[in-house]
Amino acid sequence: MPDQDAFLAGFLKAALWAEHADDTDKSFSDVGAEFSPAAIEKIRADCEAFQKLAAPELARAAANGRQTIESLGSDFYFTRCGHGCGYWDRGDDVGDQLTEKARTFKSLDLYLSDAGEVEVM
């Protein structure tokens, strides 16, 4: 199984970059927001579950040298949440297989808590 910490880091980085804080044009990363410990643990569990589900495909994708483990984590976020990029952009059967498996996970709703931390709904 790919490095779980690098995969998680890619997922978190993508989510902070792609999602907006409240109704602004600024992403969570633009305003310096970070995930709460509880949100990280929920996301970690999802990432680990996906890595188990898609272990052979992730290993093949990492072995081809075109993606890092961190970028595979980012693509898991983008694919499961329906953003305009993701595993399918890789242009091969592994990308298609990863897309199919990632889409079995529901999209995440993120919000900024009163404490200024990013939470998962």
Burial class of residue 6 in the structure, from the number of CB atoms within 10 Å of its CB (0-12 exposed, 13-18 middle, 19+ buried): middle
User: Kind and range of the H or E element at 112?
Assistant: strand 110-112
Place of tokens 């995969």: 7
End-to-end CA distance of the chain: 28
Q: Would the CA dihedral through 69, 71, 73, 79 be positive or negative?
A: negative
Residue 118 to residue 109: CA distance in whole angstroms: 10
22, pLDDT greater than 80: no
Would you place residue 117 in the very low, low, confident or very high pLDDT band (cuts 50, 70, 90)?
A: very high
Smallest Cα–Cα separation from 10: which of 84, 89, 67? 67
Range of the domain at 106: 4-120
- pLDDT score for 21: 73
Residue 39 to residue 56: CA distance in whole angstroms: 27
- pLDDT score for 2: 55
Predicted TM-score of the model (pTM):
0.91
32-67 pLDDT per residue, tens: 889 999 999 999 999 999 999 999 999 999 998 788
- pLDDT score for 106: 95
65-102 pLDDT per residue, tens: 788 999 999 999 999 998 888 988 877 889 999 999 99
Q: Taking phi first (over 0 means left), then psi (-120 to 50 degrees means alpha), and beta for anything else, what does residue 86 get?
A: left
- pLDDT score for 26: 85
Q: If DSSP codes are grouped into helix, strand and coil, which group holds residue 5? A: helix
Domain count, the chain: 1
